Chains A and B, each alone.
Chain A
Amino acid sequence: MSGEVLKRARYKTSVKDSGVAGVLKMTEDKFVFMPNDPTSSARFDVEFRFIKGHKFSKGGSNKPALLNLTQDSEKGGGYIFEFENYPDREVCREFVGKALAKFSEASKAGSEQSAVKLFDEQLSTIEMERRIKLLREDSELQKLHKQFVLSGVLTEAEFWATRKKLLDGNTSRTSKQRVGFKSAMISDLKPLTDGRTNRVTFNLTPEIIHQIFAEKPAVHQAFLNFVPNKMTEKDFWNKYCRAEYLHCTRNTVAAAAEAAEDEELAVFLKHDDILANEARRKIRRVDPTLDMEADQGDDYMHLPDHGIFRDGSKEIIDPQYEQYRRTLSQDLNRHAAVVLEGRPIDVELEDTRTVAEALAKSKRVEAANEKSDGSVTRERLERISRMTEIEDLQAPRDLPFAALCIKDPRDYFDSQQANALKTLGDTLAGSKQIKCSLSTQEAYGSLRGFISEIKSVGLSDPIVKPDIALKVLNGLTQNISSTKFHLGKNPQESVLDRLPIITKEELLHHWTSIQELLRHFWSSYPITTTYLYTKASRLKDAMSQIYPKLQEIKESVQSDFRHQVSLLVQPMLQALDAAFAHYDADQQKRSARSGERPNGFV
């Protein structure tokens, strides 16, 4: 926690060595060992930069508490210190751990900056580590990564863009969420009493401590003031629990007596002045539509008896002990106010000190914001105007529905046809457009003529010749049944399993790489920027390299498998062909468009 550690220790050159007694002082960037004997030469002043790691001996009643700071894992060499007891050693070990972590991060960041400069984006070390880990775990991913990213076909960013889910993982999503304060009043501590030994145990978790600080500003302030100057944290909470116990017993006379003796305890027993001030300030800014008469008593200035009995019995108090009384309604209202305000701080709950300081800082920030924020009054006026409406008398505020409006589908088809004609017209320059217009009578007459012709002559060219149809049908049936016979018999066995393993792996590898390339290819259309254009051409080149590889596989396989392999390879080739066709069509369109521009600007 603090910047340095000072402990008695013995410096040993090896574990068996008896060691030189002295004092070990550690600061954030170095440690210094001073032997007790001024004539001894075992004096060190070493920076943590040179220390690579630390080892320590396991605990045991007879074993010495050793801490070994190693310099270089290969060459050995280091500093062994023996401590008087384990707690000492633990403190030093933690300190060393923190210091080393700081240094290793710094060094890692340095070495990685050179690697990161190759890519265009800023990556945090965590991101890099995650990516490396994923690549290590999944060999397929690693092969793809090597094949595409390192050969320049895809950039690192593009490769990982489609794998966001792998990178994010589940934890990062939920860890961004925060949990609100519990509705249950956990700050109302109820102790466990042990009838036999007359001991009372209070259980304080960091969550409860956080809530106590949020609800009772006087306790919060006392913590910041007293710990660690006047008393340790443990004493602080002891006193607090004692105060809670006195409140539990509702013995205000005893409370007053104890408060008179112990001034720190008095802080917990008396009313919360900070809270009273806050309440007074809030009352001055309250909405004029609020009925303050009903809330009298919540201002901590008056304590009328609301008739709510805590723990079921009535409290009768002497006026001189008034300030040692607490009512249930006050506590409930304060708890509700804190819960509704939300959770202002986002720190780890383990260390009480950090929690207290963070809470204090957030309150200061809030107070400063309030003073400087002029829009607060505007917000108040808006809220007031909203609250003056009586809900039942308002018209229902349903949002209006959208009317159904169906466009004439002919518009779409006509425009598509016009587009198609236009492209045709561009490519086949010189074809004439035949415009025909017939009158209704002419069209009707020609239709009648056709019908009578067919009635008399019959269909001269039947669409399907019966004998050819039979041949085709037979052929197809044979084909399907033979395929099913060969391949579909055993549902567990897949086609790929029948092939030799090398072929199967090669095929799968090619398939995954084709999928990856195609995914990136299709996502770069429609091409709007030059970046996408270059990306598409890069991908096209990579895809054209796969063609010969697929051909190779087909040839390298034995003849009995060749047919199946070619069947498997066929759809892959089709997919590649489709991509190429799309690329070429797009190229044509662009060149046609650019042909219109005089300077040939693409």
Chain B
Amino acid sequence: EDEDEGNGLDAWERAYADERSWESLQEDESGLLRPIDNKTIYHAQYRRRIRTTARIQKGLIRYLYIVVDLSRAASEMDFKPSRMAVVAKHIEAFIREFFDQNPLSQIGLVTIKDGLAQCLTDLGGSPDSHVKALMGKLECSGDSSLQNALDLVHGYLNQIPSYGHREVLILYSALSTCDPGDIMETIQECKKSKIRCSVIGLSAEIFICRHLCQETGGSYSVALDESHFKELLLEHAPPPPAIAEFAIANLIKMGFPQRAAEGVISICSCHKEAKVGGGYTCPRCKARVCELPTECRICGLTLVSSPHLARSYHHLFPIPPFDEVSLSLNNPHQRSSRACFGCQESLLIPGNKPTLCVACPKCKQHFCLDCDIYIHESLHNCPGCESFR
């Protein structure tokens, strides 16, 4: 009889009956509960995020338009305090992460309100101006129109040069779209112009959004709650793989300006003020710019510094995923690697549990789970491999 019962248990029931999930709770000296160790969960999530290491082209110079839906549905309060507020907060984080990972790219913002789409900010590389503009315009009303937004963005993205990757990220709260014409035609036009449209929905899956993303090669996902939304949004920060028929390889001219000497006074071309020292001089036309990366206002040359290029370069050559290794105390060969090579913390936990750690396939050093996540997501260099050079 017990066997039958055991077979008939659902997965959630088995978690209690077989796995005794309450045993992972522990008390510390004063009798308070210790927080549950979430490390393995995070690690599992991170393993899912690692893509294949096949060498594929990635769009490094991206021109991304973020379309924010400010229709009536954005005032719904299933995301606290309201969908609109949550979206705005996470867009701010996303913009900073985006410019961190893609210094050569540019972002523009578009809003949909009352059935019409308006351009909030133009394509530009400075995160503060975008965030400021968005926070100043957070009111929602009316219907949402997908076609008007796509038409507007299509008009703007058609003007950028061919080496740039054209992308749209639509954060859609509504369940319907109120369009003046045939949206299928607009989708075909976007496909012809090589615009990659992705949608993150906040309410439910809508067929037209799925169709749009499938046709243009983007990704469609629907957020379950706020933390899931943040995860989905940040997934769009690293450069996406380039689609074969869209990608064109060009030689692009870029300037590497030198920092101006301290005693030089010149009128900068972005603010029209006289500035003392600092700043960079465009190597071609000798105009002064205040910050990098930027486009020279006089001669149109893209001005970057070498760290910016380096930050983009590592996307093309990601570190191979580390192999999972389980240490056990009894094995004499593994005695040398009792500490994580990255942070020097001990890899062994007192008790009989097998410890989980990872090892780099090239240099064979052992790392703990935290270092594994840190190396792959922020550092982009394996300390073991670098120390052998």
Q: Which residues on A are within 8 Å of B, measured CB to CB?
A: 170, 173-174, 177-183, 339, 342-343, 397-406, 412, 479-480, 483-484, 487-488, 494-496, 507-508, 511-512, 515, 518-519, 522-523, 564, 567-568, 570-572, 574-575, 577-579, 582
How far is B264's CA from A495's CA once the two chains are assembled, in angstroms?
12
Contact residues in B for A405 (Cβ distance below 8 Å): 57, 249
B245 within 8 A of A: yes
B31 within 8 A of A: no
Contacting residue for B265 out of A182, A495, A578, CB 8 A: A495
Q: Is the CB of B244 within 8 A of A400?
A: yes
How far is B248's CA from A405's CA once the two chains are assembled, in angstroms?
12
B151 within 8 A of A: yes
What is the number of residues of chain B that contact chain A, defined by CB distance less than 8 Å? 57
Contacting residue for A522 out of B115, B152, B285, CB 8 A: B285
How far is B268's CA from A511's CA once the two chains are assembled, in angstroms?
10
Known: A403-B56, A488-B276. A179 touches B145 (CB 8 A): yes
Contacting residue for B116 out of A177, A183, A339, A522, CB 8 A: A177
Contact residues in A for B102 (Cβ distance below 8 Å): none
Contacting residue for A343 out of B180, B277, B281, CB 8 A: B180
Nearest CB on A from B135, distance (A): 19
How far is B297's CA from A512's CA once the two chains are assembled, in angstroms?
12
21 example contacts (A-B, Cβ-Cβ < 8 A) are as follows A173-B152, A174-B117, A179-B116, A179-B143, A180-B147, A399-B243, A399-B244, A400-B244, A403-B55, A483-B276, A487-B276, A488-B277, A494-B273, A496-B273, A518-B298, A523-B299, A570-B264, A571-B264, A574-B286, A575-B285, A579-B285
Q: Is the CB of B245 within 8 A of A399?
A: yes
How far is B73's CA from A83's CA once the two chains are assembled, in angstroms?
54
Contact residues in B for A400 (Cβ distance below 8 Å): 243-244
How far is B211's CA from A142's CA once the two chains are assembled, in angstroms?
51
B247 within 8 A of A: yes
Q: Which residue of B lies closest to A577 (CB)?
A: B286
Q: Is the CB of B57 within 8 A of A483?
A: no
Q: Interface of chain B, helix or strand or loop or mixed?
A: loop
How far is B56's CA from A1's CA once the two chains are assembled, in angstroms?
66
B182 within 8 A of A: yes
B258 within 8 A of A: no
How far is B264's CA from A180's CA once the two chains are assembled, in angstroms?
57
Q: Is the CB of B180 within 8 A of A342?
A: yes
How far is B242's CA from A183's CA once the two chains are assembled, in angstroms?
37
> What would 15 more interface pairs be, CB under 8 Å, given A180-B177, A183-B178, A399-B243?
A174-B116, A177-B152, A179-B115, A343-B180, A401-B243, A404-B316, A488-B276, A494-B274, A495-B265, A495-B274, A496-B273, A570-B266, A578-B285, A578-B286, A579-B285
Interface centre among B148, B151, B249, B299, by most A CB within 10 Å? B299
Nearest CB on B from A332, distance (A): 14
B217 within 8 A of A: yes
Q: Is the CB of A511 within 8 A of B267?
A: yes
How far is B276's CA from A104's CA once the two chains are assembled, in angstroms?
55
Contact residues in A for B284 (Cβ distance below 8 Å): 522, 578, 582
Contact residues in A for B276 (Cβ distance below 8 Å): 483-484, 487-488, 495
Q: Is the CB of A568 within 8 A of B180?
A: no
The 5 closest A-B pairs by CB, nearest first: A522-B299, A571-B266, A404-B55, A179-B115, A178-B180
Contacting residues of chain B (267-322) with chain A, CB-CB under 8 angstroms: 267, 269, 272-274, 276-277, 281, 284-288, 297-300, 316
Known: A480-B262, A518-B287, A568-B266. A402 touches B181 (CB 8 A): no
Contact residues in B for A177 (Cβ distance below 8 Å): 116-117, 148, 151-152, 180
How far is B287's CA from A574's CA once the two chains are assembled, in angstroms?
9
B343 within 8 A of A: no
Contacting residues of chain B (232-258) with chain A, CB-CB under 8 angstroms: 241-247, 249, 251
Known: A174-B118, A479-B263, A571-B264. A342 touches B285 (CB 8 A): no
B179 within 8 A of A: yes
Known: A178-B180, A179-B180. A401 touches B244 (CB 8 A): yes
How far is B177's CA from A174's CA once the two chains are assembled, in angstroms?
18
Q: Is the CB of A568 within 8 A of B274?
A: yes
How far is B220's CA from A311's CA once the two chains are assembled, in angstroms?
38
Q: Which residue of A lies closest to B181 (CB)?
A: A342
Nearest CB on B from A394, distance (A): 11
Nearest CB on A from B221, distance (A): 15
Interface centre among A173, A339, A564, by most B CB within 10 Å? A173
Known: A181-B178, A402-B56. A515 touches B269 (CB 8 A): yes
Contact residues in B for A578 (Cβ distance below 8 Å): 284-286
How far is B167's CA from A336's CA once the two chains are assembled, in angstroms?
32
How far is B286's CA from A574's CA once the two chains are assembled, in angstroms?
7
Q: Is the CB of A480 within 8 A of B263?
A: yes
Q: Which residue of B lies closest to A499 (CB)?
A: B274
Contacting residues of chain B (70-102) with chain A, CB-CB under 8 angstroms: none
B158 within 8 A of A: no
Q: Is the CB of A401 within 8 A of B56?
A: yes
Known: A401-B56, A403-B56, A571-B266. A522 touches B300 (CB 8 A): yes
Known: A182-B143, A479-B263, A518-B285. A403 touches B116 (CB 8 A): no
Contacting residue for A483 out of B143, B246, B247, B277, CB 8 A: B277
Q: Which residue of B lies closest to A404 (CB)?
A: B55
How far is B246's CA from A173's CA once the two chains are assembled, in angstroms?
28
Contact residues in B for A480 (Cβ distance below 8 Å): 262-263, 277
Nearest CB on B from A262, distance (A): 37
Contact residues in A for B264 (Cβ distance below 8 Å): 567, 570-571
Contact residues in B for A507 (Cβ distance below 8 Å): 267
B206 within 8 A of A: no
Contact residues in B for A483 (Cβ distance below 8 Å): 262-263, 276-277
Contacting residue for A575 out of B148, B247, B277, B286, CB 8 A: B286
Known: A397-B214, A487-B265, A578-B286. A182 touches B116 (CB 8 A): no
B231 within 8 A of A: no
0/1 string, B45-56, CB within 8 A of A gives 1: 000000000111
Q: Which residue of A lies closest to B151 (CB)?
A: A177
Contacting residue for B56 out of A404, A519, A572, CB 8 A: A404
Q: Which residue of A lies closest to B117 (CB)?
A: A177
Known: A173-B152, A177-B148, A179-B178. A523 touches B300 (CB 8 A): yes
Contact residues in B for A575 (Cβ distance below 8 Å): 285-287, 298
How far is B266's CA from A570's CA once the two chains are assembled, in angstroms?
8
Contacting residue for B114 out of A179, A484, A518, A574, CB 8 A: A179
How far is B276's CA from A488's CA once the two chains are assembled, in angstroms?
7
B176 within 8 A of A: yes
B119 within 8 A of A: yes
Nearest CB on A from B120, distance (A): 11
Nearest CB on A from B45, distance (A): 23
Q: Which residue of B lies closest to A567 (CB)?
A: B265
Q: Which residue of B lies closest to A398 (CB)?
A: B217
Contact residues in B for A398 (Cβ distance below 8 Å): 217
How far is B70's CA from A395's CA once the two chains are assembled, in angstroms?
36
Contact residues in A for B180 (Cβ distance below 8 Å): 177-180, 342-343
How far is B354's CA from A63's CA once the two chains are assembled, in angstroms?
101
Interface centre among A508, A564, A574, by most B CB within 10 Å? A574
Nearest CB on B from A107, distance (A): 36
Q: Which residue of A lies closest to B248 (CB)?
A: A402
Interface centre among A401, A564, A572, by most B CB within 10 Å? A401
How far is B116's CA from A177's CA once the two chains are assembled, in angstroms?
7
Q: Is the CB of A522 within 8 A of B244?
A: no
Contact residues in B for A518 (Cβ distance below 8 Å): 285, 287, 298-299
Interface centre among A182, A397, A405, A571, by most B CB within 10 Å? A571
Contact residues in A for B243 (Cβ distance below 8 Å): 399-402
Nearest CB on A from B117, distance (A): 7
How far is B264's CA from A564's CA once the two chains are assembled, in angstroms?
10
0/1 string, B172-209, CB within 8 A of A gives 1: 00001111111000000000000000000000000000
How far is B115's CA from A181's CA once the two chains are assembled, in angstroms?
9
Q: Which residue of B lies closest to A396 (CB)?
A: B214
0/1 string, B33-69, CB within 8 A of A gives 1: 0000000000000000000001111000000000000
